[in-house]
Structure 1
């Protein structure tokens, strides 16, 4: 068959295979449950020749399965001399035209699942260990192996959320939440996976650059209202020779101004390629001065050499305390909050 489409009046779903192929696109195979703690189709051992299957529903190879009462599933006796690892499964059979619970025996390890979409298709419910020479399975020898089907993320209107459902996802106003049963916990918000820009440097009201062949790169990620930022500079010309008299500042990524509620801190690292050593310090936004810049790059010093000397913070200039020249490297790294 080259092409097929259905269901239409003149092109119905005519075979179980066509139904299976279509229904598999609606949702993944598995047990219908809001949380693994629920007992839907859960298997338990009780030390008898049966394990019990709780009521529940599932999809198997696109087919619906319902068990509406507690069901006993017979354990196959182990006539061997070593413990045997078995599975309780749901088996969809195209030839039998059924989905049924099956006790499937294994060996030293659990049996493999069959996954023939046009024949027999199996999904696990539980793993059972049967001791040598035994025909019973105790509670401690049953391990839950249920697969669960995905119901997808639930959209929500702000102010009208449904009650929290454990381990379910909810989307609201572009934000993603996960339920813990008591409330909806925020996971993430729209942002920028990775952005880059060319930072504009300035000294007071005067813009400048580090040379036409310099490296001057800003990279950032945005998560909701938080921006992670890194600025990397490799100097190609000497801006200090121009005599800029004000502290250095640098632009934040375009479109992401800092909040006016507080200052944000970054770390900076300077390494001289001209014999002037290296330094580390703190960069800071000053919203009262500008919301679009890192306004100051500061380093700490004291006013003396004794233990009682008072510390103070000083600003970094293009020519003080270092004469920033070609080959020098300056990095700024940190996060800030947007408005």
Structure 2
């Protein structure tokens, strides 16, 4: 077994292959730009016997390439009876000690890229189609095939962001942004992945016991300031009738904002012949930010459209006697405090 490390005094990077293997960890193959609209090393056809490569910089198998002026490449004549599909490539050649742009002819399909780690390594810039019995490539017959490579994600200090770079990613205080060239656009923020907790059900000062074998699951995830929540209850017993409405806890450590009254939908289905119902659940900021304080359902006291509807809170025994194998589900989202 041999171990190698470098660069140290007495242990330098002595070969191009060692350099290539080292430098490849700094960046991937490609043209240095974050913007697909950039003309860096872009290939154009003009209906002549050459195609042009625009100035730009690139990384090829760990080697740096810089073209500081337009380079024209000759298009070999297509003497065949069908169209020929060619490539323009950047070729790093360790024997030639150089990276250069080359025009590479193909056939009915593009030629394969040569990619030998310790020899010739090619990456594509463009695909060119040459018509039968032709020596020219038109602009319409050039397809952009550039690999692009740019900076890694930029860290940022709040209030000191660098100018926006198109398609550049930036992280600040746990939030991810992408640049559009004019400003930084928010994408996502650190949160909580798919998680569960055991909801605590109460009625006033009393804790509701739904039975030792009940299904009582709270499932949630957090993205930025938004919490997605589902609470699923299937009792295995019949709690007593309480004179206070049913309440249930939100995920621990994730209180709702006091700025708005968060709303959820609930659905109840009886397994004991009492039917089903749907309604709205809500957080009362003036009462508590850590629980859903009411499960409300709407009713009227008549059949006329002029009768004012009213909403009522759900109790353990009103309007249903909630007990074994009934199903109560609460689902929705809320903003964090």
TM-score by length of 2: 0.97
Distance 2:260 2:308 in 1: 26
Aligned to 1:91: 91
Distance 1:187 1:312 in 2: 41
Aligned to 2:157: 157
- What is the aligned-residue RMSD (CA, Å)? 1.2
Q: CA distance change for structure 1 residues 39 and 305 in 2, over 3 Å: closer, same or farther?
A: same
Aligned to 1:283: 281
Aligned to 1:62: 62
Shift of 1:36: 1.4
Q: Tell me if structure 2 keeps the 8 A contact 1:300–1:314.
A: yes
DSSP-derived class of the 1:105 partner? strand
Q: Is 320-329 or 93-102 further displaced after alignment?
A: 93-102
Aligned to 2:199: 199
Work out which of the residue numbers 311, 314, 317 in structure 1 matches 2:312. 314
Distance 1:204 1:112 in 2: 74
1:170-189 residue pairs with structure 2 within 5 A? Answer: 170-189=170-189
For residues 169-209 of structure 1, what are the alpha-carbon distances to aligned partners after superposition, in whole Å with 9 as ceiling and x for unaligned?
A: 11111111100111101111111112211000011121123
For residues 81-114 of structure 1, what are the alpha-carbon distances to aligned partners after superposition, in whole Å with 9 as ceiling and x for unaligned?
A: 1112211111112222221111112222222222
DSSP-derived class of the 1:18 partner? helix
For residues 310-336 of structure 1, what are the alpha-carbon distances to aligned partners after superposition, in whole Å with 9 as ceiling and x for unaligned?
A: 222211111111111100111111110
Shift of 1:224: 1.4
DSSP-derived class of the 2:132 partner? coil
Shift of 1:287: 0.7
- How many correspondences in the alignment? 337
Distance 1:321 1:106 in 2: 77
Q: Tell me if structure 1 keeps the 8 A contact 2:233–2:328.
A: yes
TM-score by length of 1: 0.97
Q: Which runs of 5+ in 2 are unaligned?
A: none
Distance 1:86 1:226 in 2: 51
Deviating 4+ runs (over 3 angstroms): none
